[in-house]
């Protein structure tokens, strides 16, 4: 006795097969969307990963959508995919075994139909990852610039207004900017195997997702500024002979710098590289009728690998530190001098990132063979 259930989205009819296996007859109404596992329960394979669903007739009316959220085998007596209907696997693998498949709803001899119009008149298998996760996420942009270098500081901790009483803290270079992170990889497409006696065509979407854009590096820190101070010195040195005062003040000992020199800006942060594209899906069609010519097959296979992501932008170099100006008065010698320092150098641009590699294209293999002698392995 037949059992009949009506859902708001589809009709299900359960019938026992000759071998006692319950087969579900499923019809999805137009413009509806539902997951297969929300309709029927499949039988788990030995690896506890792939499920097999035994169906009688599987009919997707126009613009309806059947979702498969795991690796699945569908063993159906008949599959009818009306125009713009689609079985979506969200990147999972699908094996479809059926005695009859109809997905082409136009005369292949209508040469005036464009490729777009033909695709719109076909049912489809979409093996791409879900749109929300298909493309790789972009890398993170560096948010904080490099830390600025400290300015030149001259102190006189012991109050001794001679060359030998001063302490020098030279200007410091800016710190490097922060690097952006690499973009993430695009998701791979699922793979598809179809076993059918006679194959007339199908629209299969199996492109890999695009890689994410690399993150931008941040700007390097500004260099420290040279000192701008008025300094009054007593004319004195350690030997008491009054020589070498200027050399010590303007050129702090053993530094190679002057008190007035600004420091260099920090290098910009490196750009993040783009993420690699996802792989296109592998498609294998096995049909059993020897008189089927491949020339009579009307099919479209979109199996390109995903585009690699673009690199981010390298961070700009930090601004140079300003050169200072020191007014130096020397007592007992009645001399006075205004000394100007050099500006530091701008920081270098951060290293450029690399574009992500394009994903590997998928493959299509259409062969004649025994459709009853097959196993549930991916292409």
pLDDT by residue (tens digit) across 331-349? 555 566 667 778 999 999 9
- CA 1 vs. chain centroid, Å, equals 54
Q: What is the pLDDT of residue 247?
A: 46
Confidence band for 323, pLDDT divided at 50, 70 and 90: confident
Other CB atoms within a 10 A radius of the CB of residue 5 amount to: 11
The tokens for 60 are: 């997707």
Q: What is the pLDDT of residue 18?
A: 43
Other CB atoms within a 10 A radius of the CB of residue 312 amount to: 30
Contact 220, 347 (CB under 8 A): yes
Ranked by mean pLDDT, the top range of 83-92, 102-111, 196-205 is 83-92
As a whole number of angstroms, the distance between CA 192 and CA 112 comes to 30
Q: What percent of the chain has pLDDT over 90?
A: 57
Q: What is the pLDDT of residue 170?
A: 83
Distances (CA, A) of 110 to 23, 67, 115, 220: 37, 32, 11, 63
The tokens for 215 are: 């993150």
3-state DSSP percent of the chain in helix, strand and coil, to 5? 5, 30, 65
The tokens for 59 are: 């009919």
Quick check: 130 pLDDT over 60?
yes
Residue-range domain boundaries for the chain: 3-139+182-216+272-312+357-368
Quick check: 93 pLDDT over 90?
yes
DSSP-assigned beta bridge partners for residue 65: 33, 86
Instruction: Give the residue, 379 or 215, on which the prediction is more confident.
Output: 215
Q: What is the pLDDT of residue 376?
A: 55
The H or E element containing residue 116 is: helix 115-120
Q: What is the pLDDT of residue 148?
A: 97
First to last CA, the chain: 39
Q: What is the pLDDT of residue 327?
A: 67
Contact 244, 341 (CB under 8 A): no
Quick check: 6 pLDDT over 50?
no
As a whole number of angstroms, the distance between CA 375 and CA 75 comes to 12
pLDDT by residue (tens digit) across 221-269? 999 998 776 665 554 544 544 444 454 555 565 566 667 789 999 999 9
């Amino acid at each position: 006795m037949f059992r009949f259930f009506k859902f708001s989205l589809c009709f299900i009819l359960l019938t026992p097969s000759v071998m006692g296996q319950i087969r579900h007859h499923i019809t999805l109404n137009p413009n509806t969307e539902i997951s297969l596992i929300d309709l029927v329960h499949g039988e788990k394979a030995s690896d506890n990963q792939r499920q097999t669903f035994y169906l009688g007739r599987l009919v997707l009316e126009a613009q309806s959508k059947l979702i498969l959220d795991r690796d699945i085998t569908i063993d159906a007596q008949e599959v009818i995919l009306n125009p713009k209907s689609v079985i979506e696997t969200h990147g999972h693998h699908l094996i479809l075994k059926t005695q009859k498949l109809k997905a082409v709803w136009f005369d292949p001899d209508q040469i005036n139909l464009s490729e777009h119009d033909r695709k719109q008149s076909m049912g489809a298998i979409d093996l791409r990852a879900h749109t929300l996760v298909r493309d790789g996420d972009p890398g993170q942009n560096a948010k904080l610039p490099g830390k600025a270098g400290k300015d030149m500081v001259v102190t006189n901790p012991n109050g001794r207004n001679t060359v030998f009483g001063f302490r020098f803290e030279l200007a410091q270079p800016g710190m490097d900017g922060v690097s952006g992170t690499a973009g993430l990889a695009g998701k791979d497409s699922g793979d598809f195997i179809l076993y059918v006696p006679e194959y007339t065509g199908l629209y299969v979407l199996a492109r890999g997702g695009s890689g994410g854009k690399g993150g931008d590096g941040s700007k390097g820190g500004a260099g420290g500024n040279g000192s701008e101070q008025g300094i009054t010195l007593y004319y004195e040195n350690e030997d008491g002979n009054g020589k070498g005062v200027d050399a010590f003040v303007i050129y702090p000992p053993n530094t190679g710098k002057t008190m007035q020199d600004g420091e260099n800006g920090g290098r910009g942060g490196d750009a993040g590289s783009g993420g690699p594209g996802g792989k296109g899906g592998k498609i294998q069609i096995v049909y059993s009728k020897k008189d089927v010519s491949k020339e009579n097959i009307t099919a479209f296979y979109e199996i390109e690998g995903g585009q690699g992501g673009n690199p981010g932008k390298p961070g700009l170099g930090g601004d140079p530190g300003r050169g200072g100006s020191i007014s130096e008065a020397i007592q007992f010698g009645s001399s006075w001098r205004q000394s100007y320092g050099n500006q530091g150098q701008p920081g270098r641009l951060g290293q450029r990132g690399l574009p992500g590699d394009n994903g590997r294209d998928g493959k299509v293999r259409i062969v004649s063979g025994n459709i009853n002698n097959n196993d549930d392995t991916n292409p």
